[in-house]
């Protein structure tokens, strides 16, 4: 048990140190969603009035949690992509021949990437007042916890794919193709209430919807009516936890049988 | 007698049996990628403290064998034991005894030399004081102490190879497995690297198993196994293999090789091989033959080379193929 902790911790540490030593990754991971938010949010603010908006929210505010999720998603993709090459000709080769289980490797990686997401999430959260969202200390902690949950789930999906994919290019193509629609269908970009029937259904079947919901609850801890969430907080969080757990187990399964040749 | 003493004594017996076992004992190993057979029926054993090299051209099966022995690839058919531990069933025990040096460095360039070693130690359950001691000892031994705080990406290829070696030896493995260790090293670095391998074998009784396509590297091994098209075609000390080739080797380049081959057979009653468009003759005291050949067929011969057999000749002798045929197309 002590060994497993030591092993996972060292892999976690490696992800974090690598990230901090590549400032361009830090900058781009924050800048990309920020640009999205400012340009799209501000641009659509005046003309875009989707039906089903929660009372008292303007679009920039509604879009804010969606942008956080987008940032978590980008970070998850970029942080897990290295697994594709790393296991054939990089650092992971040495890890794969060490007396460590594949599940522990995935745990260390997932926790490492989740930490990266959280570091950026915290910076992004500090900009909430710009959107007119004022957070209590409690709301900040709950929001960070929800972001951690979403990041862990996304990272696990990224790892499941990265352990299976043979080329980095293929990985990026597939992840963008998979994750962007999931993001758009999660109520992150516009309220579900006003969308066509089929759209509403796919949104309800999308586990990310509930993760975004959970984050909305965290951000609007004091005034749930403004959150724009579709389910009560307890249910959203429960579904988000189940989603993260499922994604993690999937990643460990994939890693266990992944080809290293 | 309590249950625990029984298990203790059977454990002791098992260890005693293992004490006499070979470093590696592989039987009928086979491996295929889909339909393509990469290794078939490979059987060998390697003794403790031996330096053993697998020699073969690219595509011969070396890399596949390396991946099987390093536990990266699953055993598909046959079986292999490392110090008595089954590669398929006792993976954890095997991995603790195994130090692996990869062809592409398995170092994280963004981490420092010390951080890379620490991460490796942690993966093997080594931490705290023991990690600091082992790490300092390995860095000292490989002349890396001054570079401990440098990021690996700032080091030269030769230095990175040394860090890789320090890392592979950190957990005191009984067997060091190296994939093409000399690739990318200049001759001086290569010599230094080999001196260290020999030192390890001499003073710490580490068994060393490597794959290579360099003849000079194979020459330095106690024994070599020659891999060709997934099969182990020979296994012996390099000197013994060379003495199997009959005496000297003559290679004749000519425009019409088959015609000349028949003429040589008719005139000198000599059998020869056709290897990539060149005629190859193995014969003792062949220098006289060179003169006779030029006297007889001087017009047709473009060039003749003559020499003592090298491992390359051994490879051609055994397989009828040029060693680097795939790398250098002949016409």
Q: What is the mean pLDDT of each run of 10 residues along chain A (261 residues)?
A: 89 93 83 79 72 75 87 86 86 94 95 91 85 87 92 94 90 88 87 82 89 88 74 88 95 88 67
Here the ipTM equals 0.87
Distance, in angstroms, between B307 CA and closest chain A CA? 40
Going by their DSSP bridges, the two strands B278-283 and B248-254 should be labelled as antiparallel
Q: Enumerate the residues of chain A whose CB falls inside 8 A of the CB of residue B130.
A: none
**How many domains does the structure of chain A reveal?**
1
Q: Does B18 touch chain A (CB under 8 A)?
A: no
Tokens encoding A254: 């994939």
Straight-line distance from the first to the last Cα atom of chain A, in angstroms, rounded to the nearest whole number: 29
**Which of A10, A88, A99 is nearest residue B119 as measured by Cβ atoms?**
A10
pLDDT band at residue B1 under the 50/70/90 scheme: very low
Q: Does A95 touch chain B (CB under 8 A)?
A: yes
Work out the angle between the directed axes of helices A233-257 and A207-219 (0-180°, nearest 10).
130
Cα B52 to the chain's mean position, in Å? 6
| Interatomic CA distance for residues B105 and A162, integer angstroms | 20
Domain containing residue A35: 2-257
Going by their DSSP bridges, the two strands B223-228 and B51-55 should be labelled as parallel
A169 CB-near residues (< 8 Å, 6+ apart):
none
Work out the angle between the directed axes of helices B113-123 and B157-169 (0-180°, nearest 10).
30
Residue corresponding to tokens 């540490």: A13
Tokens encoding B33: 């990628």
| pLDDT value, residue B4 | 42
| pLDDT value, residue B17 | 53
Whether A99 sits inside 8 A of B95 (CB atoms) is yes
**Which of A7, A89, A261 is nearest residue B123 as measured by Cβ atoms?**
A7
Q: Kindly report, residue by residue over B107-137, the tens digit of the pLDDT.
A: 999 999 999 999 999 999 999 999 999 999 9
Count Cα neighbours of A204 within 13 Å in the Cβ-side half-sphere: 9
| Interatomic CA distance for residues A217 and A214, integer angstroms | 5
**Which of B67, B92, B98 is nearest residue A261 as measured by Cβ atoms?**
B67
Q: Kindly report, residue by residue over B262-321, the tens digit of the pLDDT.
A: 888 888 888 888 888 888 888 887 888 888 888 888 888 888 888 888 888 888 888 877
CA geometry: angle A201, A204, A171, nearest 5 deg: 100
| Interatomic CA distance for residues B27 and B25, integer angstroms | 7
- Residue B282 — left, alpha, or beta (φ > 0 → left; ψ -120 to 50 → alpha)? beta
Q: Enumerate the residues of chain A whose CB falls inside 8 A of the CB of residue B108.
A: 14, 18, 90-91
Asked if B229 and B61 touch (Cβ cutoff 8 Å), the reply is yes
Tokens encoding B238: 């390099």
Asked if A222 and A84 touch (Cβ cutoff 8 Å), the reply is no
């Amino acid at each position: 048990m002590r060994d497993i902790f030591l092993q996972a911790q060292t892999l976690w540490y490696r992800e974090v140190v690598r990230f901090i030593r590549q400032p361009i990754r830090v900058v781009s991971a924050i800048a990309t969603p920020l640009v999205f938010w400012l340009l799209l949010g501000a641009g659509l603010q005046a003309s875009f009035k989707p039906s089903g908006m929660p009372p008292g929210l303007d679009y920039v505010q509604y879009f804010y949690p969606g942008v956080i999720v987008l940032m978590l998603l980008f970070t998850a993709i970029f942080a897990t992509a290295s697994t594709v090459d790393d296991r054939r000709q990089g650092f992971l080769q040495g890890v794969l021949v060490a007396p460590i289980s594949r599940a522990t490797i995935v745990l260390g990686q997932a926790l490492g990437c989740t930490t990266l997401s959280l570091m950026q999430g915290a910076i992004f959260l500090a900009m909430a007042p710009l959107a007119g969202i004022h957070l209590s200390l409690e709301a900040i902690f709950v929001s960070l916890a929800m972001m951690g949950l979403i990041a862990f789930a996304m990272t696990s999906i990224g790892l499941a794919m990265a352990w299976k994919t043979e080329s980095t290019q293929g990985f990026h193509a597939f992840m963008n193709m998979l994750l962007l629609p999931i993001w758009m269908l999660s109520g992150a970009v516009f309220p579900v209430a006003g969308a066509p029937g089929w759209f509403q259904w796919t949104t309800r079947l999308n586990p990310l919807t509930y993760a975004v919901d959970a984050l909305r609850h965290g951000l609007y801890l004091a005034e749930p009516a403004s959150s724009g969430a579709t389910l009560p907080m307890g249910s959203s969080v429960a579904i988000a936890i189940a989603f993260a757990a499922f994604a993690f187990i999937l990643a460990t399964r994939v890693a266990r049988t992944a080809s290293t040749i | 007698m309590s249950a625990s003493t029984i298990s203790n004594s059977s454990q002791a017996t098992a260890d005693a049996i293992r004490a006499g076992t070979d470093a590696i004992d592989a039987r009928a190993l086979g491996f295929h990628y889909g339909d393509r057979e990469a290794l078939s029926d490979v059987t060998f054993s390697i003794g403790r403290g031996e330096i053993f090299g697998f020699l073969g051209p690219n595509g011969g099966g070396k890399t596949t064998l390396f991946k099987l022995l390093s536990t990266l690839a699953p055993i598909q058919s046959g079986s292999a034991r490392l110090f008595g531990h089954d590669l398929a069933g006792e993976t954890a025990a095997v991995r603790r005894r195994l130090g692996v040096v990869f062809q592409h460095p398995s170092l994280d360039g963004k981490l420092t030399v010390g951080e890379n070693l620490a991460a490796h130690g942690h993966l093997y359950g080594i931490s705290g004081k023991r990690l600091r001691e082992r790490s300092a000892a390995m860095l000292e031994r490989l002349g890396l102490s001054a570079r401990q705080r440098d990021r690996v990406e700032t080091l030269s290829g030769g230095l990175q190879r040394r860090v890789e070696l320090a890392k592979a030896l950190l957990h005191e493995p009984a067997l060091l497995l190296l994939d093409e260790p000399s690739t990318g090293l200049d001759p001086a670095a290569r010599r230094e690297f080999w001196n260290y391998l020999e030192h390890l074998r001499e003073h710490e009784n580490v068994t060393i198993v490597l794959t290579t396509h360099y003849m000079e590297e194979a020459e330095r091994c106690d024994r070599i196994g020659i891999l060709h098209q997934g099969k182990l075609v020979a296994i012996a000390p390099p000197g013994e293999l060379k003495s199997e080739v009959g005496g000297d080797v003559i290679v004749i380049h000519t425009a019409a090789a088959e015609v000349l081959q028949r003429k040589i057979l008719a005139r000198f009653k000599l059998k020869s091989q056709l290897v990539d468009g060149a005629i190859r003759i193995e014969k003792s005291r062949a220098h006289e033959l060179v003169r006779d050949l030029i006297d007889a067929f001087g017009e047709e011969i473009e060039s003749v080379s003559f020499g003592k057999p090298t491992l390359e000749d051994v490879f051609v002798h055994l397989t009828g193929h040029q060693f680097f045929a795939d790398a250098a197309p002949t016409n």
